[in-house]
A and B are shown apart, each in its own frame.
Chain A
Amino acid sequence: MEQLGPALLALAAATLGSLGGIGGAILLVPLLVVTGTSAAEAAPLGLLMVAAASIAAGPRQLRERAVNHRLGMASELLASTGAVVGALVSGALSDRLLSYVLAAVAVGAAVAGSFRSGLRNPPDPACGPGDVGERVGGLAGAYPLGNGVVPYRPARLRGGLALMGLAGVVAGGSGASGGFIKTPALSELMRVPSRVAAATTTFTVGITASAALCIFALQGRIDVELAPGVIVASLLGGGVGARLQSRVAPAMIRRLLGVLLVVVALLLVVRA
């Protein structure tokens, strides 16, 4: 029955995280640590939640033609490197230091979630259904929106890719997805439409999580008795959250989650 506690926390975190569009791991990992799991053990459980959510959300986002795989993979080159570095370094850090890192990440996510703008690019009447998709050899693309097609071309690549590397370090070091850095980096800095940014982030966070989880597996940090419950709860909670999304305002949920994350961060610091 010791699996029940983390699974219930994962269910709540996945539902709330999915409702607010920030993912559940950023909530799950600090909550696990506050309730007594070591930070070193909580991080892999958080990343398993991230990878499971990425798998579950994949089909819908692929059908919407909103994922830009080339842009995602280019950003992943740095994010995965960051995740590997973060995971290797976190293995050598004390639990107390990891708790401080986690508290800082939770506050960062609260701030990033509160200030998200949701950039919209208008459809181009000159574009047709044949233009939808990413371009061979480049990072640009076009996605369908209503009856129109929205073309886009990522800008400020260096700054954006640097932030992807940072997101990777955060994911590997703390067990949070780093999506709260990736999505704003794509939409606000690189001028990618918010829907493409969110879908591409969901695709890439799964890869970042996998890269770090490979390291955690070799470090013996994945608890295979707790992990299945967390994975099932993530899949269930993500689905429930996605269904409830149309009934509540995501911005309001994000603000509430922001407050909750700050409280959890304070608890982490006090506990550490």
Chain B
Amino acid sequence: MSAGESAGRQPIPPGQVSTIRGRYQIPGLVWLTRLLMPLGFVAAVLDGDAGIALGTAVVVAVVAAPLLRVGWLTFRWRQERDTRFVLVGCGVLGVVVVGVVLAALGVGA
């Protein structure tokens, strides 16, 4: 298939359009990025326990943010009464929880 080839026009999908527009996600992610830059820089140049503590906080924020987005979307889908995708969101978080439990039990170590 060559670059820019058309896939053909697809039919207008039926059903209700989701109300999720990123009203809270956008400012949340913008502020997180603005915070991570200076905090990460300070953590990188700071020696000793303070640097490690700040570095840990930066890592926790980076790891937690995508999972918080999953939780937020699952909550919003519940508001939209989209049961199927509420289950999908819970499933994704459940997979992470199961993984954490397995790792805590020493599986794969």
A87→B100 CA distance, assembly (Å): 11
Query: Within residues 32 to 59 of chain A, which ones have a CB less than 8 A from any CB in chain B?
Result: 48, 51-52, 54-56, 58-59
How many residues of A sit at the interface, in one of the four size bands? 35 or more
Across the interface, do A231 and B66 meet the contact criterion of CB distance under 8 Å?
Answer: no
How many residues of B sit at the interface, in one of the four size bands? 35 or more
Given contacts A55-B29, A80-B95, A207-B66, contact A135 B15 (CB under 8 A): yes
Across the interface, do A3 and B15 meet the contact criterion of CB distance under 8 Å?
Answer: no
Across the interface, do B59 and A122 meet the contact criterion of CB distance under 8 Å?
Answer: no
Given contacts A51-B63, A73-B88, A231-B62, contact A63 B5 (CB under 8 A): no
B69 contacts across to A, CB distance below 8 A: 58, 203, 206-207
Given contacts A51-B63, A55-B65, A210-B64, contact A228 B41 (CB under 8 A): yes
A69→B104 CA distance, assembly (Å): 30
Q: Which 10 A-B pairs rank lowest in CB-CB distance, beginning with the nearest?
A: A140-B13, A88-B108, A84-B99, A62-B22, A206-B66, A228-B43, A218-B103, A229-B44, A232-B40, A91-B108
A residues sitting closer than 8 Å to B (CB atoms) are 3, 7, 48, 51-52, 54-56, 58-59, 62-63, 65, 67, 69-70, 73-74, 76-77, 80-81, 84, 87-92, 117-122, 124, 126-127, 130-138, 140-142, 151-153, 188, 191, 193, 203, 206-207, 209-211, 213-215, 217-219, 222, 224-225, 227-229, 231-232, 235-236, 251
